[in-house]
């Protein structure tokens, strides 16, 4: 294979081991960290008695990190549509279609999850607050039935996200350990 000049290693489509750019990589792993933290918070507050200050504080933290996720997702979509580096598909044929469906599915699930969380909070009696610093006022009146309905769908989507992200992570590890084709490395710093 032709030697690729060092200056082109990061950007050229002909480099043998291209990587995503640093912003894409940072936003990917920040998303992972936030999703895991948000899920863990919901598991832990379930152990605290209903109505307790601890449970309330964990829910407020969940909403605050949730708003960080909303900002991260927005940045990620804008970055991907604009200057973010795109790489050729890691698979061909059916696997390529499956990978694409999983990636777009994850974006859609995360977007839906964020929307359900924000609207669920707006229909509740509690504020959509960012770390006790400020709150985004609700345009709606309180509606307990609607809040419960939205949060119940939010709960189901949380499980679906974990399953789909788990399959996605397993596929990344399969590429790394079985196919040894460098696909995982392109998303690593």
* Cβ-based nearer residue to ligand HEM, 4 or 106: 106
**Least distance between ligand HEM and beta carbon 26 (Å):** 13
User: Which residues are within 8 A (CB) of 140 and not within 5 positions of it... i.e. 6 or more apart?
Assistant: 122, 123
Q: CB under 6 A: which stretch of 1-9, 10-18, 106-114, 134-142 binds ligand HEM? A: 106-114
Among 138, 172, 181, 182, binds ligand HEM (CB under 6 A): 172
The Cα 134–Cα 123 span in angstroms is 18
106 binds ligand HEM (CB under 6 A): yes
Structure tokens at 2: 């032709």
Among 62, 72, 85, 123, binds ligand HEM (CB under 6 A): 62
55 binds ligand HEM (CB under 6 A): no
The Cα 14–Cα 131 span in angstroms is 45
What are the CA-CA distances from residue 34 to residues 12, 45, 46, 181 (Å)? 31, 16, 19, 28
- Residues 23-42, one symbol each (x = binds ligand HEM by CB under 6 A, - = not), give -----x--xx--x--xx--x
Structure tokens at 162: 């974990």
Among 18, 19, 58, 63, binds ligand HEM (CB under 6 A): 63
Size of interface with ligand HEM, in residues (CB under 6 A): 43
Residue with tokens 């609607």: 146
Yes or no: say if 168 and 102 are a contact pair by the CB < 8 Å rule: yes
């Amino acid at each position: 294979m032709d030697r690729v000049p060092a200056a082109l290693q990061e950007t050229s489509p002909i480099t043998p081991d291209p990587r995503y750019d640093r912003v894409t990589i940072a936003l990917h792993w920040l998303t992972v960290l936030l999703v895991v933290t948000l899920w863990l918070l919901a598991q832990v507050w379930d152990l605290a008695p209903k109505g307790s200050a601890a449970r309330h504080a964990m829910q407020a933290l969940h909403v605050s990190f949730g708003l960080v996720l909303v900002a991260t997702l927005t940045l990620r979509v804008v970055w991907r549509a604009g200057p973010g580096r795109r790489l050729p598909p890691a698979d061909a044929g059916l696997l390529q279609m499956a990978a694409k469906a999983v990636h777009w599915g994850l974006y859609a699930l995360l977007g839906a999850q964020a929307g359900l969380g924000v609207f669920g909070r707006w229909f509740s009696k509690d504020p959509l607050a960012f770390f006790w610093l400020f709150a985004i006022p609700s345009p709606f009146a309180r509606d307990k039935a609607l809040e419960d309905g939205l949060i119940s769908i939010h709960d189901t989507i949380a499980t679906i996200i974990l399953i789909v992200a788990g399959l996605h992570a397993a596929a990344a590890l399969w590429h790394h350990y079985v196919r040894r084709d460098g696909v995982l490395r392109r998303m690593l710093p």
